Structures are given as structure tokens and as C-alpha cells.
Structure 1
Amino acid sequence: MVAISLITLAVADVARSCAFYEALGLRTAPTNEEGVAFLDGGGVVLSLYGRTALAEDTGLTDARPGGVTLAFNVATPEEVPVRLDAAVAAGATVLKPPRTMPWGGVTAYFADPDGHPWEITWVDGFALTEDGRIVLQMEPSHG
């Protein structure tokens, strides 16, 4: 089973965008780091990432407003290159090969036949369900 597990939006100001989506009712995960935020999107995680940082991370030169990457999160670091090979076999173009990131995960990027960027990533702190969905560890609401 393959599941779309995370959608990343390129944003001008992560804190401002996080506040906006929280105001719409999404809950922010407490594991956020500076420059990125993860919100519970009801089965899909919404990630907010600075435009320039996302362009640099994906290898794309266009950091225009509205930039989006889609992601497949996998259960092990070894699955990243396997999933990338499958995407290439299906017609994808590699944007960035698998690599260990400074934060400890393993990630790769490819473009689908229409040029939409996708990430394949293993993140140690993200628990996945059997069908590939991310389970964010949420703190109880106070209110």
C-alpha cells in the first residue's frame, strides 16, 4: 500500500502560516523545529516550510509562492532508494538522490512526468501506520 502521507507548502513566513492554519483548526505537533512546522491534517500531515529553504532542499530553483511538494514517508531508511528506483522506473526524474540529512533522516526528491516535486523520506520520529500514514504524537488540547 502506498499512501500520500505529507504535503509540504512553501511559505514566506513559517510562524505566520502556522498561526493561520491553527486558526483554521489544525493542530500543530509539538516536535516542530525552527523553519518547519507539522500540522495534523486528518490523515495527511501538512508541513509548512520556508520558500527559500524548500527550493534549496528539493534542488528546484523556483521558490515562488504556492510551491508544493508531496511526500511518501517510509518505515525504514533502506526503503528510500527502493521507492526512488520504482518512481524512476515509472517515468520520474531524480531531483536529488537519497541522502542523510543533518537532522538525521534520509530523503530523496523526484519530479513526476508533469514536473511536480515529490519527496521520499524516512523520519525516525514519525510513526507510520500499516497503510503508510503518519501518526503525529499530539499533546492534549488545553481548553
Structure 2
Amino acid sequence: MEPRISLITLGVRDVARARAFYETLGFVASPSSNESVTFFAAGGAVLGLFGWDALAQDAGVPAAGDGFRAVTIAHNVRDKAEVATVLAAAEAAGGRIVTPAHDVFWGGHNGYFADPDGHLWEVAWNPYFPLADDGSLQLP
């Protein structure tokens, strides 16, 4: 297997509502999107939105369940102040702030928001993992 993440698909209760939320944050839907599924370019990977029940059926698992899903999606930013800016934009778009921006023990600065379906996003400034000009994370 070649290590890569090509597509992250989030199960959502209302595809149109979720699409509007992510578009408000600046994501641009691909022309291949439709009322059942939405695709966004996301810096070398793709973020997909698909109906919650339909995604569970596709994976062959029960659709029931909520709460912590043991997964977060991270959006790294270029400077410390940008963490609060992105969190505010997510809240204004209809997200919920889970953890406000704050300094963290490892030397960075982060906060978390939940999208309208409860998917957790970490917004982080990490001085040890700078971003390239194209926004990709640079591991040491």
C-alpha cells in the first residue's frame, strides 16, 4: 500500500445544509457534486459529504450512534492569531465552538469546533510543523 489519504467522507444528516456550512468556510464544491453527495478539494485530498444513513449502508454498519467518534480533522494555520479567526468563522457559519483558542502544552495554540453534524475540527498553529506556500503541512 502507498501511504496516502485521498478522500475523507463525512456522514451528514442534511447534505445541502452541510454543503452550505463548508462553502461558508471557503470550500468550493466540485462540479461532480449533486444533491446526494458533495466533494471539495482540500489541499491534495478531497472532503466528501454523503448522507449519514447512506454512508452507513455503503459501509455495511449500523447508522445509529452519536457522541465522540474518536476522530478529528485538523486545519493548521500559519500563525497563532489565525486560530481564533478560523474558529469565529466556523461559529458564524453555524458550527459550535467546543474548545476556544488556547496555548497548549506542546508549544502550539489550538481550539476545536464541531460542524452541524458534530464532526470535530481542530484548528491549530504548530510552530514545529510549518505550512508550505501551497498550504501543505511540512513534517520535520
Q: What runs of 5+ residues in structure 1 fail to find an aligned partner?
A: 1-23, 28-42, 45-61, 138-143
> What letter matches 1:83 in structure 2?
V
Partner residue of 2:85?
82
CA shift in 2, pair 1:132/1:94, >3 Å: same
Q: What runs of 5+ residues in structure 2 fail to find an aligned partner?
A: 5-43, 46-66
Q: TM-score, normalised by structure 2?
A: 0.52
- 1:26 is displaced (CA, Å) by 4.0
Correspondence for 1:71 among 70, 74, 88: 74
- Asked if 1:107 corresponds to 2:77, the answer is no
Correspondence for 1:120 among 114, 120, 123: 123
Partner residue of 2:97?
94
- 1:134 is displaced (CA, Å) by 0.1
Partner residue of 2:26?
none
Of the two, which has the highest radius of gyration? Answer: 2
> What letter matches 1:124 in structure 2?
P
Question: What are the Cα deviations for residues 73-107 of structure 1, in whole angstroms up to 9, with x where unaligned?
Answer: 00100100001000101111000000100111000
- 1:126 is displaced (CA, Å) by 0.6
Cα distance in 2 for residues equivalent to 1:94 and 1:112: 9
Number of aligned positions between the proteins: 82
Question: Structure 1 residue runs of 4+, over 6 Å off?
Answer: none
Q: TM-score, normalised by structure 1?
A: 0.51
Alignment of 1:43-82 (within 5 A): 67-82=70-85
